[in-house]
Structures are given as C-alpha cells and as structure tokens.
Amino acid sequence: SVALGLGLGLGLTIGRRSGGIKDTFLKRCQKFKDLNCQNVWDAFQRAYINRDPCTVTTDAYDPFIEAVSFKPQCNRVLFWSKTKEVAHSFTQKRDCLVTLEDTPLGAMVDGLTWCGKKGSNETFSSGCPEYSACENNPMRSYWNRASAALADAACGDVSVMLSGSIQTPFDPESIFATIEVTRLHSPRVRRLNVVLVMEKNAVTNCENKSLKNLQNVLDAGIGYGCKEVTRDQIDKCSSDPEIACGACW
C-alpha cells in the first residue's frame, strides 16, 4: 500500500479491500491441528469488524483468546524486546524455547496488517491506522492482549532475549516491560533468565542500569539471572542439534 505523505499526522495508508488476510490466517491456523480454524477466524474478526479502527480495546479479543485456548509448557517461554529477528532465528530451529510468534496466537497474524471500518463487515489490510496512530487500534490491542495471554501462561523458568546493542535493553515502555513482566508471579514463575545478545556493536553488559530496574520490578520470589551471549554463540547453537539446548548458554 502507498503511504499518504500528507503530513496530517493521521497515520493512514491508502485503502484497498483484502481477501488475502483471511486466507493467510486460515492457512497458518491449519498447521495447528487441534484448532477449529473457522471458529477461531470468526472470533478474531468479531473483535474489530464494523468498528472505528481506533476504538478496538484489548478486551475485544478475549473471545478470540478463549477460542485458541492457549497452553504453553513450563520452562519454554522466550520473550523478546528489540531482538525479534535473533529470537525467532533461534526458535525456528530449536524447539526447546517458544516465542509468542511460534504459538498459534502469534503465528496466525505475525507480520499482517488488519482493521475494520464502521458500516462494513469486511477485514481490511490497508487503510488501517499505523501502530502509533492511536492507542486502541486493532493491531496494537491484539499484540498487547496476546502478549498478556502468553505471560499469564508462562511458568517455571522463563527467558527473555534483550539487546546488548542499546543503552536501555530493558525498555520501560516496551510490551515486555509493561505487559509481560508485570504478569509474571511467583511461585508459578520460578526464575527469569535474561539472555543479553551481544553483537559486534555491543554497548553494554549485564551490569546495565535498566537491568537493575528489571530486577527491582520483578515479583518477589522470582529468581533472576543474566548472561551475555554472543550472536555467534546463538547462531552456532541454532544450527547444531548436537548441542543440548540447556548447554547453549
């Protein structure tokens, strides 16, 4: 879609009606054998169709979350913040850890754009508000709601990949900080392991101030650990199944 450079700050793109998102959604859904994909799609759509696209709240997706009935295993959840690519490059090859996007909730819509319009029962994939255009937009509310569901279901040891290439690896504005960390409670969650991803341009380490803040906001009783892990180490472990997952870092 073509971005409208009108400088009006509306954050809108030129609209075209889409049949594509439903097909993509259903195709991705079918990979998860235990889902009734038509029901899941109907519940998903009901959250945002026939509404002004800046009035979709996180609660609107509750029936959808219910329809997907999400049960990740303990000790496998991997959160990420500013590390989407490296986190997924790992979980796509190794199944000891799963990100939101490896679960049905994240996988069905990862990378997609969607919204509704008042007076229409269609799903649109362009002409939608940009992520930052308004608080209650269909995609932002979705990712907030889905992230909350993953955090609610996380148990045992949980991990997060944070970036050692920025001054504030634990960004207080991120979904990880505002939604995920706040929903981790002891004793359901035993420990949070930070994997601080060190690329060649690393600017910090596990002593980082924002990571101290992370320890301070963690629910009492949840253990904390941080490891500086080079990108090379992560890549090596992703591509070598001989290395036990627990020995990756």
Residue 92 or 120: the one with the smaller Cβ distance to ligand APR is 92
Least distance between ligand APR and beta carbon 111 (Å): 6
Residue 37 or 184: the one with the smaller Cβ distance to ligand APR is 184
Residue 106 or 116: the one with the smaller Cβ distance to ligand APR is 106
Residues that bind ligand APR (CB under 6 A): 79-82, 84, 100-101, 106, 110, 143, 147, 150, 171, 174-176, 180
Q: What is the DSSP annotation of the chain?
A: --B----SS---B---B-SHHHHHHHHHHHTSTT--HHHHHHHHHHTTTTS-TT---GGGGHHHHHHH---PPTT-BEEEES-HHHHHHHHTT-SSSB-GGGSHHHHTTTT---B--TT----BSSSPPPTTT-TT-HHHHHHHHHHHHHHHH--EEEEEEEETTSS-SS-TTSHIIIIIGGG--TTTEEEEEEEEEE-TT----TT-HHHHHHHHHSPTT-EEEEEEEEHHHHHHHHH-TTS-GGG--
Least distance between ligand APR and beta carbon 240 (Å): 25
Least distance between ligand APR and beta carbon 181 (Å): 9
Least distance between ligand APR and beta carbon 82 (Å): 4
Residue 78 or 198: the one with the smaller Cβ distance to ligand APR is 78
